[in-house]
Amino acid sequence: MFSGKSEELIRRVTRALIARQSVQVFKPSIDDRFDRLAVASHAGRSLDALPVPTVTDLEAVVKDETQVVAIDEAQFFDDKLVEVVARLADQGKRVIIAGLDLDFRGEPFGPMPGLLARAEVVEKLSAICRCGRAATRTQRLIHGAPAHYDDPIVLVGAAESYEPRCRECHVVVREGRQTPLFAEPRVDGRVAGDERTTRSATAGRRLVPRRR
């Protein structure tokens, strides 16, 4: 993340529009962080896009006269995207795709491996890690702490944030989870909304909820 992939997609689509080419831009409907009807970059640029829930829906609305098909956040689609993109390319359409190649675990993300292997041109962008190195991975943080390996690949509505990290600074927790995934931790070591007895990670003492 934060490598400028959506910015690059917007730049390429803008050039196609300047060249008076017929363009359609798509994004997965699950991605509504900035604008539900647009591709948006962290730099603040945006481009109108059609949100689609599935790859089948995407292919169904591609017009015969369209010359350029642009797809943002491709990692959120399923593996059928590889076949659909191949069909579009065989029809003579130029397909521009932006997406994360690795998930928060540092493992191949969705259809991206298949897309990368079949693409004529691949440009791999990287952000800058907090240590100053090139960031090739995405660090997921839940309430400021590294996410657990067993967390869902895609989270919607959780208190999550992301940071670009290099290989050395990227952390994925594999031990037991100390707090439930969607719970808000409190200063006293307990979890909001959780009346079970928990163990303090620092003192190792038992904490018993007060009577109300």
Where would I find the H helices in 19-128? 55-60, 80-90, 112-118
**Where in the chain is CATH 3.40.50.300?**
5-125
pLDDT, tens digit (0-9, with 9 covering 90-100), for 16-59: 999 999 999 999 999 877 777 888 877 778 899 999 999 999 99
- Angle of CA points 96, 160, 156, to nearest 5°: 65
* CA proximity to 191, closest of 159, 151, 156, 152: 159
Where would I find the H helices in 19-108? 55-60, 80-90
Please tell me the predicted confidence (pLDDT) of residue 60: 98
Please tell me the predicted confidence (pLDDT) of residue 31: 83
What CATH architecture does domain 5-125 belong to? 3-Layer(aba) Sandwich (3.40)
Q: 182 pLDDT exceeds 60?
A: no
Whether 8 sits among the annotated catalytic residues: the reply is no
Measured in whole angstroms, the distance separating CA 101 from the mean position of its chain's CA atoms is 9
Confidence of residue 163 (pLDDT cuts 50, 70, 90): very high
Burial class (CB in 10 A: 0-12, 13-18, 19+), 35: middle
**Where in the chain is CATH 3.30.60.20?**
128-165
8 Å CB contact between 146 and 135: no
Q: 210 pLDDT exceeds 70?
A: no
Q: Which segment of 9-13, 25-29, 134-138, 145-149 scores lowest on mean pLDDT?
A: 145-149
**Token digits for 180?**
């439930």
Beta bridge partner(s), residue 139: 163
8 Å CB contact between 13 and 47: yes
User: Distance from first CA to last CA of the chain, Å, rounded?
Assistant: 45
Please tell me the predicted confidence (pLDDT) of residue 29: 94
Q: 122 pLDDT exceeds 60?
A: yes
Please tell me the predicted confidence (pLDDT) of residue 45: 82
Q: Which of 8, 73, 163, 175 is catalytic?
A: 73
CATH for the 128-165 domain, from 3.30.60.20, 3.30.200.20, 3.40.50.620, 3.40.50.300: 3.30.60.20
Q: 7 pLDDT exceeds 80?
A: yes
Q: 198 pLDDT exceeds 50?
A: no
Dihedral pair phi/psi, residue 152, rounded to 5°: -60, 150
Q: Which distant-in-sequence residues (6+ apart) come within 8 Å of 7 by Cβ?
A: 41, 42, 43, 45
